[in-house]
Chains A and B, each alone.
Chain A
Amino acid sequence: AQSVTQPDIHITVSEGASLELRCNYSYGATPYLFWYVQSPGQGLQLLLKYFSGDTLVQGIKGFEAEFKRSQSSFNLRKPSVHWSDAAEYFCAVGNNAGNMLTFGGGTRLMVKP
């Protein structure tokens, strides 16, 4: 069975600082990996995805993530955080049929002025 772990429940960073959100997954084959962002009371917006190819993927809003098979990780990064990035971030793993997403517990990002 596939599973996702986001070790950090809350993270606080200062505006302008760099950010890394951790994600570890468990899946028997090459996974489809996603990062979504959720603002309060809203649905989920896709930030980026990895299916195959280049292990460093670029997403929207200046985010990137790197797939590391040896570490079963897909950490999300941003070089300089903006106050508007404060939200809940979910990492998800999908099966290769694309019809089953398993979400991590989420990481709530807070941004200090």
Chain B
Amino acid sequence: GAVVSQHPSRVICKSGTSVKIECRSLDFQATTMFWYRQFPKQSLMLMATSNEGSKATYEQGVEKDKFLINHASLTLSTLTVTSAHPEDSSFYICSAEGTSGRGGAKNIQYFGAGTRLSVL
């Protein structure tokens, strides 16, 4: 149980295009999802927290107009990297927090497999 699917796993795009990454909780409902960015050989840095039906909360230094987050349902959150540039190339990982009574344990984040974005 508590599986999080992230799609696509790998994307290569041209500079200036937009890329959408999906994060789905497959067998539980997640009121809160998180988006992280991981640089090579480094730890995860939280980009934003999204709650279903409301605006995402962005961490300091993260451009909300650059990284658009939508959390329209209890099982889906999307991250759109708008007008991507080579410096946006990175590994993006989402997680979903379980909710008691709906599958997935509360206070635990379940992670997707990540999306490697390469911007040419």
Distance of A98 Cα from B43 Cα, bound (Å): 19
Question: How distant is B94 from chain A, measured CB to nearest CB, in Å?
Answer: 8
Q: For residue B91, which residue of chain A has the nearest CB?
A: A41
**When the two chains form their complex, are residues A43 and B112 in contact, meaning their CB atoms are under 8 A apart?**
yes
**When the two chains form their complex, are residues A44 and B107 in contact, meaning their CB atoms are under 8 A apart?**
no
- Given A43-B6, A105-B43, A98–B107 Cβ distance below 8 Å? yes
Distance of A34 Cα from B110 Cα, bound (Å): 12
- A51 contacts the other chain (Cβ, under 8 Å)? yes
Distance of A45 Cα from B34 Cα, bound (Å): 15
Q: For residue A101, which residue of chain B has the nearest CB?
A: B109
Which residues of chain A come closer than 8 Å to B107, judged between CB atoms?
32, 51, 94, 96-98
Chain A, residues 92-112, CB within 8 Å of chain B (1/0): the string is 001011111111111010000
**When the two chains form their complex, are residues A99 and B97 in contact, meaning their CB atoms are under 8 A apart?**
yes
Bin chain B's interface residue count: 20 to 34
- B113 contacts the other chain (Cβ, under 8 Å)? yes
Question: How distant is B31 from chain A, measured CB to nearest CB, in Å?
Answer: 10
**When the two chains form their complex, are residues A103 and B44 in contact, meaning their CB atoms are under 8 A apart?**
yes
- Given A41-B116, A44-B93, A98–B106 Cβ distance below 8 Å? yes
- Which of the residues A32, A34, A100, A104 comes within 8 Å of B43, measured between beta carbons? A104
- B108 contacts the other chain (Cβ, under 8 Å)? yes
- Which of the residues B6, B97, B116 comes within 8 Å of A98, measured between beta carbons? B97
Which residues of chain A come closer than 8 Å to B95, judged between CB atoms?
44, 101
**When the two chains form their complex, are residues A106 and B32 in contact, meaning their CB atoms are under 8 A apart?**
no
Which residues of chain B come closer than 8 Å to A41, judged between CB atoms?
91, 114, 116
Distance of A41 Cα from B91 Cα, bound (Å): 8
**When the two chains form their complex, are residues A43 and B43 in contact, meaning their CB atoms are under 8 A apart?**
no
- Which of the residues B6, B44, B91, B108 comes within 8 Å of A90, measured between beta carbons? B44
- What is A's interface to B at a CB cutoff of 8 Å? 32, 34, 36, 41-46, 49, 51, 90, 94, 96-106, 108
